């Protein structure tokens, strides 16, 4: 009898990322916070569709949060550059 080696390519995910089925046939959902780098427990759902929708909505919320943070960092960098340029021109 031949056994096939299981690899990531040969093994398909049964559930979407962040959703797993627990032993009570319910679906647990958790997601990693992009800024704090900690896992956040969202909830336990009875159906896969509810769990998947919850994960997707939270992921979208985190994506907006990251975009806002990046825009704020760019504004701060521009302000610092402008301040240093003004100081250089004042000294001459």
Is 78 inside any structural domain?
A: yes
CATH number of the domain residue 72 falls in: 3.30.730
Indicate whether 3 belongs to any domain.
no
Residue 10 domain flag: no
Phi, psi of 88 (to 5 degrees): -65, -40
More confident residue, 4 or 83: 83
DSSP state of 2: -
pLDDT > 70? residue 89? no
Stretch (H or E) spanning 44: strand 39-45
pTM (predicted TM-score): 0.68
pLDDT value of position 14? 66
- Domain span at residue 55 reads 19-91
The answer to whether residue 64 is domain-embedded is: yes
What domain count does the chain have? 1
- Give the Cα separation of 30 and 20 in Å (integer): 9
- In-domain check, residue 11: no
4 belongs to a structural domain: no
Tens digits of residue pLDDT in 2-56: 655 656 555 556 666 888 888 898 999 999 998 899 999 999 999 999 999 999 9
> Within a domain: residue 28?
yes
């Amino acid at each position: 009898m031949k056994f096939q080696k299981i690899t990531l390519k040969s093994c398909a995910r049964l559930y979407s990322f962040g959703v797993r089925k627990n032993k009570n046939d319910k679906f647990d959902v958790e997601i990693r916070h992009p800024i704090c780098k900690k896992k956040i427990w969202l909830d336990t759902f009875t159906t896969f569709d509810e769990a998947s929708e919850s994960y997707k909505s939270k992921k979208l919320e985190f994506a907006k949060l990251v975009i806002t943070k990046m825009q704020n960092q760019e504004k701060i960098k521009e302000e610092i550059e402008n301040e240093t340029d003004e100081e250089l021109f004042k000294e001459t």
